[in-house]
Amino acid sequence: MTSAALLAMRERVVAAILSNPVVGPDSAATLARMNDPVQDCTFEELGFDSLARMEFCIFLETEFGISISSGEVEGSPSINAMAAYLAGMNAGR
């Protein structure tokens, strides 16, 4: 996986988070961290609870055409980790 492909996947994950009606960045600083791949941002920092994880899973399933559980979201606790996980799934197809 190239760094460009991983960065593109990360941008899709950030877009998914921003479209989530349940949670999102609570400050300009958190939004800046979301958009900075070097700093990264955890889902906990974004206020993800079980409902937010479920909504996020539904969006990812629709966006990527994959089946993903809230446990898999918990297992990839940050934006960068989720992008790497999804990129790996995508590469395996």
pLDDT at 93 over 80: no
- How far is the C-alpha of 78 from the C-alpha of 66, rounded, in Å? 19
pLDDT at 81 over 90: yes
- Mean pLDDT (the chain) is 85
* Domains along the chain with CATH numbers: 3-91 (1.10.1200.10)
Helix residue ranges, H only, 19-78: 28-34, 50-64, 70-75
> What dihedral do alpha carbons 56, 58, 60, 61 form, nearest 10°?
160
For the stretch 39-65, pLDDT in tens is 888 888 888 888 888 888 888 898 888
- 53-57 long-range CB contacts below 8 Å, 24 or more apart? 55/20, 55/21, 55/22, 56/16, 56/17, 56/20
Q: Model confidence over 6-43: pLDDT tens digits?
A: 899 999 999 888 887 777 788 888 888 888 888 888 88
